[in-house]
């Protein structure tokens, strides 16, 4: 795609999208010229805009946070435009704020660059929506989870059956393989729950069907927390169901770090057929 100026990373599509900033012709020319630090004289030479016009526009751009002042040689100041990544981050933050206020959402998002984003969801509906969105973005992949008993127990009291079924069906329709780590006493907790809620668990199990699953059990002493961890191809999602908080991290290095930790823990676990264990528990109560 054709670039707006020879030394700019901005394309014409970028320029069109930035019309929302309401920059005048002079301000635009100066902003796109500041791909690296320049003095007033250098900006004047590059843009053919008068020094007075350059100074005035620089002041206006600085007030909008689009241009920053840097140290130059001697007493001469130099100016540089913010990077494309930082500008994109501000657009994302603005869009998220507008969505939040318009739909009474409680989500805070920070985009460090085009490849890294961090967000916090507050409230049960926010957490559920965010997790379903992540699942919908992944198909024919493995998802890796660590679910301590406390988190599972809280989950049963917080989440309506319909939300469980919808989430399970989404996992199945997207052909996701669940690769999970559970505490080794988890099935002893399942049994009384199933006895008290036989229809609930039966419907939940049916919604998953014979989905692919790869589970291991580890010593329950190591997993006595009220939060759980889910790792996807490009995203990590940490959930505390009790406090109704979700933390989504989209960053390759962070994701890979969690994945290596997961693999280390799993290597020391005991493999189990989770689907078969659930079938046995349901069968024993019929």
In this model, does residue 209 exceed pLDDT 60? no
Residues 127 and 170 occupy one common structural domain:
yes
Residues 132 and 273 occupy one common structural domain:
yes
Q: Is residue 93 part of a domain?
A: no
Report the pLDDT averaged over residues 106-111.
79
Residues 131 and 219 occupy one common structural domain:
yes
Residues 211 and 258 occupy one common structural domain:
yes
Residues 156 and 267 occupy one common structural domain:
yes
**DSSP labels, the chain:** --BSSTT-S-BHHHHHHGGGG---HHHHHHHHH-SS-B-HHHHHHHH---HHHHHHHHHHHHHTTSEEEE--STT--EEEEPPHHHHHHHHHHHHHHHHHHHHT--EEEEEEETTEEEEEEESHHHHHHHHHHHHHT--S-EEEEE--HHHHHHHHHHS-HHHHHHHHHHHHHTTPEEEEEEETTHHHHHHHHHHH-HHHHHHHHHHH-S--EEEEEE-GGG---SEEEEE-SS-EEEEETTTTEEEEEE-HHHHHHHHHHHHHHHHTSEEE-HHHHHHHHHHHT-
Residues 60 and 202 occupy one common structural domain:
no
Residues 62 and 138 occupy one common structural domain:
no
Q: Is residue 126 part of a domain?
A: yes
Among the listed ranges 7-21, 56-70, 80-94, 176-190, which one has the minimum average pLDDT value? Answer: 7-21
Q: Which of 82, 105, 127 is the last residue of a domain?
A: 82
What pLDDT band is residue 76 in, cutting at 50, 70 and 90? confident
Report the pLDDT averaged over residues 143-162.
90
For residue range 124-150, list pLDDT tens digits in order: 999 999 999 999 999 999 999 999 999
Residues 262 and 121 occupy one common structural domain:
yes
Range of the domain at 69: 12-82
Q: Is residue 266 part of a domain?
A: yes
């Amino acid at each position: 795609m054709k670039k707006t100026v020879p030394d700019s990373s901005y394309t014409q599509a970028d320029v069109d999208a930035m019309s929302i900033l309401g920059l005048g012709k002079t301000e635009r020319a100066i902003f796109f010229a500041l791909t690296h630090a320049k003095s007033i004289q250098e900006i004047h030479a590059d843009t053919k805009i008068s020094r007075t016009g350059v100074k005035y526009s620089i002041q206006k751009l600085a007030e909008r946070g689009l241009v920053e002042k840097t140290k130059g040689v001697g007493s001469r100041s130099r100016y540089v435009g913010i990077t494309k990544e930082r500008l994109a981050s501000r657009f994302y933050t603005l869009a998220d704020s507008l969505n939040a206020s318009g739909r009474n959402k409680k989500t805070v998002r920070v985009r460090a660059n085009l490849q890294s984003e961090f967000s916090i969801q507050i409230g049960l509906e926010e957490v559920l929506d965010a997790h379903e969105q992540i699942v919908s973005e992944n198909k024919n992949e493995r998802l890796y989870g660590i679910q301590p008993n406390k988190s599972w127990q809280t989950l049963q009291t917080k989440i309506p059956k319909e939300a469980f079924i919808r989430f399970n069906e989404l996992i199945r329709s997207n052909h996701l393989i669940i690769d999970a780590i559970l505490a080794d006493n988890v099935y002893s907790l399942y049994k009384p729950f199933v006895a008290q809620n036989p229809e609930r668990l039966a419907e939940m199990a049916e919604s998953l069907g014979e989905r692919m699953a790869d589970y291991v059990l580890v010593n329950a002493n190591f997993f006595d927390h009220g939060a759980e961890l889910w790792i996807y191809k490009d995203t990590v999602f940490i959930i505390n169901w009790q406090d109704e908080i979700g933390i989504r991290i989209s960053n390759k290095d962070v994701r890979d770090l969690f994945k290596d930790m997961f693999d280390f823990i799993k290597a020391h676990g005991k493999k189990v057929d989770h689907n078969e264990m659930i079938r046995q528990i349901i069968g024993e109560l019929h």
